[in-house]
Amino acid sequence: MSQLTEKAKEFSEKAHQGQSRKNSDVPYITHPIRVAKRLEEAGFSEELICAGYLHDVVEDTPYDIEDIKKLFGERVATLVLAHTEDKTKTWKERKQHTIDTIKNGEKEVKYLIVADKLDNLLSLEKDLKEQGVHVWNNFNAGIEQQAWYNRSIAENMFVGLNDDEVPSYFHEFEKAVHRVFTS
């Protein structure tokens, strides 16, 4: 781990301290750590790995994009900002923006978003197996809307990428979408 990625991990741990994952008491930091690890295992840049650690900081903590820019540089801030939802918008507007970003965004932004969505979906799948369908009650949108959103990500994530630019976890995401949302 480089000094910069170590610093991003520590900053994310501090920012998300006391937060837990939806549907459980698992510390929230486990999610950004898994996202960053997936990006690192795929051989991506130090900046993208940092963005993996930091991708939810602006959305879910008191820190803002200027804090990210000051501590981690313009490129990391750009990646984080591209994946940060505008909480003043409705759920549907926010998700449509992410779908549009996955379709039209640059490669590294796609890599970050899909790594995040895959980890969320694998966690959801585990929660559904352990706790049953009532886990959907903890979401802002029900199963039909979640299915639309995740299928839309899967349908648009390959746009603009050559076969040799597609990381293996994109295919893992497709399979997870099929498992979770096919009844």
Which tens digits make up the pLDDT trace of 66-116?
999 999 999 999 999 999 999 899 999 999 999 999 999 999 999 999 999
Residue 13 has pLDDT above 90, yes or no: yes
Domain range spanning residue 22? 3-181
Looking at residue 31, its pLDDT comes to 95
User: CATH number of the domain that 49 lies in?
Assistant: 1.10.3210.10
Looking at residue 92, its pLDDT comes to 95
- Taking residues 146-157, report their average pLDDT: 97
Number of domains into which the chain is organized: 1
| Bridge partners for 27 per DSSP | 20
d(CA 63, CA 19): 14
This prediction's pTM: 0.95
Which residues neighbour 18 within 8 Å (Cβ) at sequence distance 6 or greater?
none
Average pLDDT of the chain is 94
Q: Quote the DSSP letter at residue 183.
A: -
Q: At what angle do helices 107-131 and 74-82 cross, to 10 degrees?
A: 50
Predicted confidence band of residue 183 (pLDDT cuts 50, 70, 90):
low
Predicted confidence band of residue 24 (pLDDT cuts 50, 70, 90):
confident
Predicted confidence band of residue 137 (pLDDT cuts 50, 70, 90):
confident
